[in-house]
Structure 1
């Protein structure tokens, strides 16, 4: 490195040639900066609304209250079997109301919660659709 400096810079300086000046820092355009900041703020707000609309399930995993089974009976109405501690409740859920339908004396057995993969679910849906036609 030292050899490079002595072989190139010293002869230039001795010849009276000057080194190129360092480039001036670019000007900051306040309009572009403000627009970029507003874009980031808007992106954060849009993502917050999307996450709120997704209604993510409770990630705490509270085991004292579980939905065992639910059956839709209308567009926005369904009947839900809920496990609360040792008791099971049959609840009717509508858009504006939740009603206790029955308290089960003998709890039903909890079905095995197996999650089939996407391919098998899609195949089952396609098979049902083909059978309807």
Structure 2
């Protein structure tokens, strides 16, 4: 008959193996399922900005996608758009225009 110490050691080894296997599986799942941005499109992901509860199950949420911001109303029955702010145009793509009303006034 095997001793208690031997059985305990085998059980601990098996437990350590199962924990290590679970950690490896979770690590692989996290890296494989995480959304990746295409080169040059780092802002393509949906980003949570802020939420404000307005009731027990209702919230007003601000999210950002592609530089544009959306104000959403979230309820138990659905999601509705309250407001939308388009993405800001980068300064280097804006053409120089003379001031409105002419020059030299």
Fold shared by both chains (TM-score > 0.5)? no
TM-score range (shorter-chain normalised) is 0.3 to 0.5
Q: Which structure dedicates a bigger proportion of its chain to strand?
A: 2
Give the alignment's TM-score, normalised by structure 1: 0.32
Q: Which has the higher contact order (CA 8 A, sep 6+)?
A: 2
Q: Which structure dedicates a bigger proportion of its chain to helix?
A: 1
Higher-Rg structure is 1
